[in-house]
Structure 1
């Protein structure tokens, strides 16, 4: 057998290496699927919908969805992807799991937390979020309480919160002596405070503010100090989404936020939520 000269051997090895790299790149590109191409082939964008006004709302009679994340999901699907949009009813306990198991393509109104980031990817925030507290201003147990969260951690106080939400996680991290009443929905949590079975309603600051505006006679809002669970509110997507696909939705959201369109949608949803109440 005749061995190639050193220069020829070097060229041969370099060429083989380049071929190997190109083949690996081609294989990687073939293995990497496009979420939006799959959605366009299916002809429908599926949005996981767990109700929490004014982000996501659902008419009990018609089943129709509204809210500013609903508006964003519908607008992105119809105007960017050019497909129909379907809203899939779920709850906060199952919103992430359904995204992981491909029951929907987007999870609406997910708070950005490190724990959730282990399971899903996030878009840039559409809006910002903070947990607030709402109490009955005539409740004698809360007469001296202002905004110090530690002053609320007492055995005789009960906190009503929707199970599985960011609010649930946030209040559970700071309340150790008080009782936490975890309920399946926000209507049940609000009713618990209205009926005085619970003392404190735990929810997002904007939704608590809506509820306070609708019930000015007895409510008092508390913004805890230090701030409780201040974070962005985003769309959740599967972790295997390609950077290019994620950037498509991020560009859309940044433009909508920078132009003030999202704030207009928030105001519209807030008016609808109060009208419904």
Structure 2
């Protein structure tokens, strides 16, 4: 994993536009060869739980964007030569839905030992760690707070998305502060902005977007050593053939090496910042 400071140095490169569609699709479980089954059905189904800028969903149109959505779309259209459809889900169900064949790929999952027992992971498309954001005018948080010890105190409330790797990481690290689990990123951000929560625990890139969008009040704590440093990958069903996983890995490795992933990330970051204005 690369730390956020290194990641930021590489994130802002040339742009690449993308778009996605939302729909449902038939079962693909009748064929043990994952991609053969997808080609037979003519559609690649991507399980999508919202986590900006990895996966985003327009509240008005229902359309998905974000750089993992872009990668899934490009893989389906350009490698498998099929249509791509996004299946809306939650982080609590992102693994179970894949196991029950509600979709073919789960997007933007942190590769954890616990999840590896249930699904198979691709190579990482990018890497992440967990940071915390707070309002610098909050009198409960000491000026210059920079560590978990500064905020892990009784009476402190931390908002986090339920069922995510951030939830697991912060739950293991926090001993005294109260953890408030919420269904999505919109709810956690609203809790912080409305002062119902003192801090927001999220992936570093997501929190970077929040602080860039609200530089007048938002401040980040980057724990040292990094908290929950992990690769962020696609997941397929555990019984997917190794040859099929290799096809996905070859595609992702080429996208990372060529700089395409960084270009997609920049597009997603810019879209987020524009949307937050």
Output the TM-score relative to the length of structure 1: 0.87
What displacement does 1:188 show? 1.0
- State TM-score, norm by structure 2: 0.87
Asked if 1:257 corresponds to 2:256, the answer is yes
Superposed CA deviations along residues 144-188 of structure 1, whole A, max 9, x for unmatched, are 453221232111110001111111111000111110011111111
Quote the residue 1:222 is aligned against.
221
1:174 is aligned to: 173
Give runs of aligned pairs for residues 15-26 of structure 1, distance below 5 A: none
Aligned-partner Cα distance in 1 for 2:177–2:257: 41
Q: Using the alignment, how far apart are the partners of 1:211 and 1:234 within structure 2?
A: 22
Runs of 4+, deviation exceeding 4 Å: none
Aligned partners of 2:80, 2:191: CA distance in 1, in Å?
A: 42
Distance 2:221 2:174 in 1: 15
Which structure has greater helix proportion? 1
Q: Where in structure 2 are there 5+ consecutive unaligned residues?
A: 1-29
**1:191 Cα shift?**
1.0
Note the aligned Cα RMSD (angstroms).
1.2
Which residue pairs with 2:242 in the alignment? 243
**Higher relative contact order (CA closer than 8 Å, sequence separation 6+):** 2
Larger Rg: 1
Counterpart in the other structure of 1:88: 87
Matches within 5 A, 1:89-238: 89-144=88-143, 146-238=145-237
Specify every segment of 5 or more residues in structure 1 that has no aligned partner in the other structure, as ranges.
Answer: 1-30
Report deviation, 1:117: 0.5
Return the offset for 1:85: 0.3
CA contact (8 A) 1:145 1:152 kept: no
> How many residues matched?
247
Partner of 2:59: 60
